[in-house]
Amino acid sequence: MSKILVVGNSSVVTKTIETIRQNDQQSTITLFCTESFLPYDRLALPSLVAGQMKETQTHSLANNFFSQHQVDLIANEKLARISFKRKHLTTENKVQIDYDQLMIADLGLLMPLTIKGHQKKGVFDCARLSSVKELIKYLPLVDTVFVMATNIQGLNMACALHGVGKEVVIVSSGHGLLPDIFDEETSSLLKQILEGKGLRVLTGNTIEEILGDAEVKAVRLDSGKVMAAQMVMADFMPLDWRLVTQQTGYQKIDDDYFHTDLPLKPSHFGFKVVQGFCMGFTKFPEGGREYLKFDGPQNVFKKIFAQGQYLVGAVLFNAPSHEAKLLKTIAERIPVAGQEEALLGG
């Protein structure tokens, strides 16, 4: 009988547990969560801030899930280290959990901010329910929020905060908005639309220092400019996976929140500000083709990417009626050679 240890708080771990039990009724399963909350959908957190969703909707496990699947649950424990060689996990309270098989969705550890003043009250992250719950309590005290956005979650959180009446400043260290995901043309137009809706976007900028005594009062940018703020949000990435991937003897479980490599899984972004959708390759693929249609007055933007006979990616702004057809075309690898312009029509 094998000991299986699953590490993570994201909803993907529940699917993993279900799959294990479909094939293996004998092994013991232990789920290690670093938060006090049961596995939840991280991608739903901006909707929680926007008031479009209740907390219970972010985690919809049946009350008997763990007993039904014979899972031992260890929650609200901080991870100190994993010994891949000796096959055990150790918590900060020096509890040791032995395993034969290790499956990691997320380590519950985030890359620490190196920004001076990051420990001040009013600094939150987009990845954890515990942080977002505290953020919601703090919102009545806030007028201006700075969001350090590097991925779609950060963009969605910025749009959610704008939707509840906050002045939002998005800070991107790249020369465009989400340059790791979108090409220059798409990135520039996205920035233009957001600014037209009242958000401010500072590209090629970083926050050098968070100012205030105990609470956030302002931020200093790397340009030296100081701007008033009462909250700072960061769409933290997980602790550098290279610290783990140098090791062997574990299986990484794909977490939608931390999925940033192209091709992208189907993703919605921008809420009512943009009504964006993207999937697959969102930049020009090697040896590929791109097709574009833009309606300026309506802010409707449609860009698709093809390679050979097939459509391999799409980005849409304010064109929800096209989502289903493009998703089906990409997912089912329907030949489109010569029909690309027609796919943009309508």
Q: What is the CATH number of the domain that holds 308?
A: 3.30.390.30
Domain co-membership, 98 together with 149: no
Mean pLDDT of 200-227: 95
* Average pLDDT score over the chain: 89
Q: Which position has the higher pLDDT, 221 or 79?
A: 221
**Cβ within 8 Å of residue 243, ≥6 positions away:** none
Q: Which domain does 246 fall in, by range?
A: 3-44+51-110+240-258
Whether pLDDT at 295 is above 70: yes
Whether pLDDT at 305 is above 90: yes
Residue 96: inside a domain: yes
Residue 62: inside a domain: yes
The pTM of this model reads 0.89
- Nearest residue to 55 via CA among 38, 67, 71, 75: 38
Neighbours of 55 (CB within 10 A): 15
Provide the pLDDT for residue 139.
96
Domain co-membership, 299 together with 253: no
Residue 267: inside a domain: no
Domain co-membership, 90 together with 159: no
Number of domains present in the structure of the chain = 3
Residue 212: inside a domain: yes
Provide the pLDDT for residue 280.
94
N- to C-terminal Cα distance for the chain? Answer: 58
Whole-Å CA distances, 60 to 34, 37, 262: 19, 12, 29
Provide the pLDDT for residue 245.
56
Domain co-membership, 132 together with 205: yes
- Residue 10's pLDDT band, with cuts at 50, 70 and 90, is confident
Domain co-membership, 142 together with 229: yes
Handedness of CA 249, 250, 251, 255 (dihedral sign): negative
pLDDT digits (tens, 9 = 90+) for 93-115: 999 999 999 988 877 655 667 78
Residue 211: inside a domain: yes
Between 110-124, 128-142, 244-258, 270-284, the lowest mean confidence (pLDDT) is in 244-258
Provide the pLDDT for residue 32.
92
Say which CATH number the domain at 34 has: 3.50.50.60
Q: Is 209 exposed, middle or buried (0-12, 13-18, 19+ CB in 10 A)?
A: middle
Domain co-membership, 148 together with 195: yes
Residue 168: inside a domain: yes
Residue 313: inside a domain: yes
Residue 317: inside a domain: yes
Domain co-membership, 246 together with 106: yes
Between 24-28, 90-94, 111-115, the lowest mean confidence (pLDDT) is in 111-115
Mean pLDDT of 43-54: 93
- Residue 240's pLDDT band, with cuts at 50, 70 and 90, is very low
